[in-house]
Structure 1
Amino acid sequence: MTIDNIFHPDTHSKLIEITESNYLFEDGTILPVHNGVPILFSSDSIFSIDDIVKAKATTQSSDYLNTSSTKNYIRRKLLPSLCTDFNIEKRYNRLVELCPNNGKVLVVGAGEKIDYYKNKFKNCEVITSDVHNQFKPDYVFDGHFIPFVNNTFDVVLAAQVIEHTINPWKFCQELQRVTKLGGILQIEAPHNFPYHAEPYDFYRFTYTGMRSLFPNCAVLKAEITEGNASVVAITLSNYFVNLSSKKLIRSGFLFVTRILFGWLKYLDKRQALPNRRTVSMPKGYAFTFKKDDVKRTSKELLKEFYTLKK
C-alpha cells in the first residue's frame, strides 16, 4: 500500500512519512507503529492504542487456537461442528475471479485467517486488518474510520465482522467509500447466532436489513451460509450448555450436544440460495455487492425482496 492511499482516520490529513515507530501526517499528527504493525485508530473509536500496547484481547483472543489445551483440542479437533459454510471455497474462488490481476484487496477483520486470504488472492495486493493485533494483520484500525482514501480497493471483504460494529450504518458507508466504482464488496454476517466476543457483539441482520445497508451497490449474489437446520443445532446445544454455570457440566453438555446434533448441518447443503421461505431463520448470509453509485431509495431497496422466489 503506497503512502498516497493512506490518510489520518480523524483529520484525513495525508501520510507523508513512515518510520520504524510512527506514521507522520501532513498536519503534524502522529500515530504509532507497535511491533511492526501501524495502529491507526480514530480518537472516536471504542478501541484504543493502549489496548494494543497491552495486548488486550477485545473482539477475539488467540488463546482459543491453542490445541495444547485439552478443552481446545477436543472442541477443535475431535468434536463435529454444529454448522459449516459448505460454499465458502466456491464463493471465494468466484471472488478471486472478479478481482483483477494485481488488484487491491482489503480484508476487514481478518482474524486468524490472514494467511488464508493472502494465499487465496495470491495475484493481488492483499491488505489485512483488525481491531487487535492477536494475529499480526498489516494494519490495526477501526472499520468505522478506515484510514484509506476514497476508491482505493477493487475488493473489500468483511466476513463475520459487521455484527461487532457499534454503528453498522457508518461502517458500511466506510466500506463503500474505499471501494472503487465497479469494485466488489463481500459481506458475511449472522442472522441467528448466540451472543459472542462479549461485549463487542451488537447486531444481527435480516436479509432486507443487510441489503438496506448498501444502497450504492447492486447485489451480484446473495447466499445462505448456514441454514435453518444449523440454527436448530446451535440453539439446542446452547440451551443445554447454559443450564449450568459449572465448567464440568457445561463441558459435558458441549461434548454430548456436538455428538447428538452435529449431523443436522448437512440438511442445509441444498439451501444455499435465499427464498422467501428460507430467509425466516438461517444462521447467516453472504452478500456479494458491486459498487455502482446508483442512489437507491428505501422503497427501491425493499422492492428487491419481492424478486426472491416464494
Structure 2
Amino acid sequence: MLQNIIHPDSHAKLKEISKDFYVFEDNSELPIHNGIPILLGSQSIFNQNDIINSKTTTQDRSHLDTSNVKNYIRRKLLPSLCTDFNLDKRYETFNKLISRGGKILILGAGEKIDYYKNIFSGCEVITSDVHNQFSPDFIFDGHFIPFADETFDGVLAAQVIEHTINPWKFCTELQRVVKVGGFLQIEAPQSFPYHAQPYDFFRFTFTGMRSLFPECEVVKAELTEGNASNVAVTLSNYFVNLSSQKIIRSAWLFVTRILFGWIKYLDSRNGVPNKRNVSMPKGYAFTFKKDNIKRSSKDLLKEFYHLKK
C-alpha cells in the first residue's frame, strides 16, 4: 500500500517515512501526528494545524459520550426517527463483490472504523477522515486523494458526499483510485437537515447521484431510508426549531422522537427505487462498478426511465 501513496498536490511518489514525516520524491514533506499521516494538500479547506490541535471541525466525538445525561437519553432510550434497515446486508453484499484480500478505501470512516474492519473481513481496509477524532489510518481531503490511479478494489463513501465542497471533483477522485472492474459504494441524503455546519454543502436526487459517476455502471440502487423517514425527520426538526432555548428544544426532541419514531417502519419494505418513491426519500445507496465507459449526460438520464412506475 505504501508504494501507492502520492503527494496530494504534485502526485510525487512516496520516497521514505521518517519518524515525523512522509517524504516524497520531490523532497516535499507531510507530517505524521500521533502515528497518523496527515496528507493534506495546499488547496484543501482543511489544515494540518487544526488536526494537530484537535480542533473540532466536521465531527466531535463528544456526542458519543453516554455518561452525559442528554446523550444517554438520546442514544440509548429514545427511538430513532430513521433507520437504514438494509445497511449490514448491503455491506455484506459489497464485501462479496471484492476479491478476498482486496483493498477497500473508506472515506469519512468516523466512529465506525471497527465496524468497517469487521464487516469487510477478508479484505485490507484502509480508513480515512479529515480529522483525528477517531484515529483513522490516514487523514486527507477526498478532493485530493493521496493514492495512485487504480489502487483500490473497492471504495466506500457513506454520508460523505454532501460534506464535499466540490462533489464533482470528489467523485472524479473516487473513480480515479478504484481499479477498472472495481466497485464503489456511495450513500448520500436527498432530504436531511443542515448538519456538521459549515461543512454541509449539497443534497442529491436519484439522477443527481447517478450523474456523478459517468465512468461506472449501476450494479444496484436502493433507498437507505424512504419517504416515511423523511416525514418523521422533517416534523421533528420543525418542532425542535420553534425555539432557540436549549431546554425547550430538548423537550421537543424528546416528544417528537416518541411521537414520530414509529413512522420509519413504513419504509422497511420499500427499498427499491421507483418513479413514485424517489420523490422525497431521506437518501440513496448506489453500488457502482467502474467500467471506464464514457457516458454522456443523455446516457445517464436514460437510466431514470428504466425505473418502474
Q: TM-score range by the shorter chain?
A: over 0.9
1:78 matched to 2:77 = yes
1:88 is the counterpart of 2:99: no
Partners of 2:124 and 2:92 in 1: how far apart?
16
The CA deviation string for residues 180-208 of structure 1, in whole angstroms up to 9 with x for no partner, is 00000000000000000000000000000
Aligned to 1:153: 152
Aligned twin of 1:38: 37
Alignment deviations for residues 12-56 of structure 1 (CA, whole Å, 9 cap, x no partner): 001010122100000010000001100000100000001101101
Q: Tell me how far apart the structure 2 counterparts of residues 166 and 133 of structure 1 sit (CA, whole Å).
A: 20
1:230 aligns with 2:218: no
Question: What letter corresponds to residue 73 of structure 2 in structure 1?
Answer: I
Aligned twin of 1:260: 259
The code of the aligned residue for 1:70 comes to: V
What CA distance in whole angstroms lies between the structure 2 residues aligned with 1:265 and 1:226? 8
Alpha-carbon distance in 1 for matches of 2:81, 2:26: 51
Take 2:139 and 2:237, find their aligned partners in 1: how far apart are those partners?
Answer: 32
Aligned to 2:272: 273
Quote the Cα distance in structure 1 between the aligned partners of 2:179 and 2:119. Answer: 21
Provide the secondary structure at the position in 1 that maps to 2:128: strand
Structure 2 runs not aligned, ≥5 long:
none
Tell me the equivalent position of 1:285: 284
The superposition leaves residues 208-266 of structure 1 with CA deviations (integer Å, 9 ceiling, x where unpaired) of: 00000000000000000000000110011000000001110000000000000000000
Looking at structure 1, the residues matched to 19 and 134 of structure 2 have their Cα atoms a distance apart, in angstroms, of 20
Normalization by structure 2: what TM-score? 0.99
1-structure distance, mates of 2:58, 2:209 = 21
Alpha-carbon separation, structure 2, partners of 1:101 and 1:303: 34
Per-residue CA deviation, residues 92-133 of structure 1 (Å, 9 max, x unaligned), is 010110010110000000000000011111211100000000
For residues 33-87 of structure 1, the C-alpha deviation after alignment (integer angstroms, 9 at most, x for no partner) is 0011000001000000011011011111101000010000000000000000000
Tell me which stretches of 4 or more aligned residues in structure 1 moved more than 3 Å: none
Counterpart of 2:293 in structure 1 is 294
Partner of 1:28: 27
Q: Which runs of 5+ in 1 are unaligned?
A: none
Aligned to 1:102: 101
CA distance in 1, matches of 2:199, 2:242: 24
Aligned Cα RMSD in Å?
0.5
AA aligned to 1:89 is: D
Residue 12 (structure 1) aligned with residue 11 (structure 2)? yes
SS in 2 for 1:59: coil
Q: Normalising by structure 1, what TM-score?
A: 0.99
Correspondence for 1:309: 308
> Equivalent residue for 2:136?
137
In 1, the alpha carbon distance for the partners of 2:183 and 2:55 equals 33
